[in-house]
Amino acid sequence: MTIIPELHPRYKSLMTRDKLVDCIGAGITSQQGLIAHGRGEAFDYLIGEQTLKSARRATEVAAAMLLTANKPVLSVNGNVAALVAKDMIELSELLNAPLEVNIFYRTEERARKIKALLEKQGAKNVLGNTLDAKILGIEHARAMVDREGIYSADVVLAPLEDGDRCEALINMGKKVITIDLNPLSRTSKTATVSIVDDIARAMKNLVSMVKEKKNSKIDLAAFLAGYDNNALLKAVIEEIVVRLKDEDLRV
Ligand code: ATP
């Protein structure tokens, strides 16, 4: 762990990088996960490292979708485990939904380590060690999921997912909620609800919105009615364009 002075202007971002590097050392995160994070960071600059109005609306829809799901499942990969394990566990408890370890560059050892990390932090229902069902339309290794988890879910929260798998899950009739800073990724374009925000900010918002809506008499269906993911992604891009036009280029 590097010592980063708290006054450093990029303190938060540097700490996040450190967390990911530590998790590579611990066998939780893949090296490719670092590159994926870098791509995300570039988009975070474009959105001003803040939650956009359109992302807040998408998060609200996601909260309503998870609360009205019959069988929600929360997918956890190496970056998700490194960055937001606690929030994922809290969400899993609020929704009474299992977490499923679901990694792109899968090794059994890494899957076991992610499960152990989640359980050490208090997760009670972690799937993903028994891969006994196949997502249709994906080649063998990446297609395997848990029959009791993602395979039979109606709504899957799959943050930082890859475009192929997102599309395959949609083709199986599932609703997929993703969190991805890139509004142009295939995942963002394919998902039912795309939250274009940093995973740490998005998960905090999602947990607090689920808490708030769970105990209210609010009409959840109203949040889902008329939701158009494509229009939301266009709104994200418009917000980015406006921001860039107004950007003060002096430091
Ligand atoms: P796709 O297959 O969907 O076109 P991709 O090839 O970029 O996208 P990956 O390489 O799996 O997919 O990258 C994961 C995605 O996660 C990237 O689009 C990146 O923007 C996003 N991402 C990475 N780190 C974060 C983060 N901290 N918060 C939100 N999104 C992130």
Do residues 119 and 146 touch, judged by C-beta distance below 8 A? no
- pLDDT of 228 > 70? The answer is yes
Ligand 1 neighbour 201 (Cβ under 6 A): no
Ligand 1 neighbour 76 (Cβ under 6 A): no
- Report the topology of domain 53-215+229-241: Rossmann fold (3.40.50)
**Edge-to-edge order in the sheet of strand 155-157:** 126-127, 99-101, 72-76, 155-157, 175-179, 193-195
In the reported structure, the alpha carbon of residue 185 is separated from the centroid of ligand 1 by a whole-number distance in angstroms of 7
Render pLDDT for 29-84 as a digit per residue (tens, 0 to 9).
999 999 999 999 999 999 999 999 999 999 999 999 999 999 999 999 999 999 99
In the reported structure, the alpha carbon of residue 219 is separated from the centroid of ligand 1 by a whole-number distance in angstroms of 32
Among 14, 39, 201, the mutation site with the greatest number of ligand 1 atoms within 8 A of its Cβ is 39
- pLDDT of 218 > 70? The answer is yes
In the reported structure, the alpha carbon of residue 215 is separated from the centroid of ligand 1 by a whole-number distance in angstroms of 33
Ligand 1 neighbour 199 (Cβ under 6 A): yes
- Measured from the CA of 189, which atom of ligand 1 is nearest? 3
In the reported structure, the alpha carbon of residue 43 is separated from the centroid of ligand 1 by a whole-number distance in angstroms of 10
In the reported structure, the alpha carbon of residue 242 is separated from the centroid of ligand 1 by a whole-number distance in angstroms of 23
If pLDDT is split at 50, 70 and 90, which confidence band does 223 have?
confident
Render pLDDT for 111-141 as a digit per residue (tens, 0 to 9).
999 999 999 999 999 998 889 999 988 887 7
pLDDT at 98: 98
If pLDDT is split at 50, 70 and 90, which confidence band does 176 have?
very high
Fill in the DSSP letter of residue 238.
H
- pLDDT of 2 > 80? The answer is no
Ligand 1 neighbour 35 (Cβ under 6 A): no
User: What residues form DSSP beta bridges with 126?
Assistant: 99
pLDDT at 5: 81
Residue whose Cα lies nearest atom 11 of ligand 1: it is 162
Pairing of strands 175-179, 99-101: unpaired
If pLDDT is split at 50, 70 and 90, which confidence band does 155 have?
very high
In the reported structure, the alpha carbon of residue 22 is separated from the centroid of ligand 1 by a whole-number distance in angstroms of 20
Q: Which of 25-29, 142-146, 186-190 has the lowest mean pLDDT?
A: 142-146
Q: How many residues does the chain have?
A: 251
Among 34, 79, 160, 161, the mutation site with the greatest number of ligand 1 atoms within 8 A of its Cβ is 160
If pLDDT is split at 50, 70 and 90, which confidence band does 1 have?
low
Q: Hey, is 41 helix, strand or coil? A: helix
Span 77-93, mean pLDDT? 97
Ligand 1 neighbour 182 (Cβ under 6 A): yes
- Measured from the CA of 184, which atom of ligand 1 is nearest? 4
Sort residue 196 into left (φ over 0), alpha (ψ -120 to 50) or beta.
beta
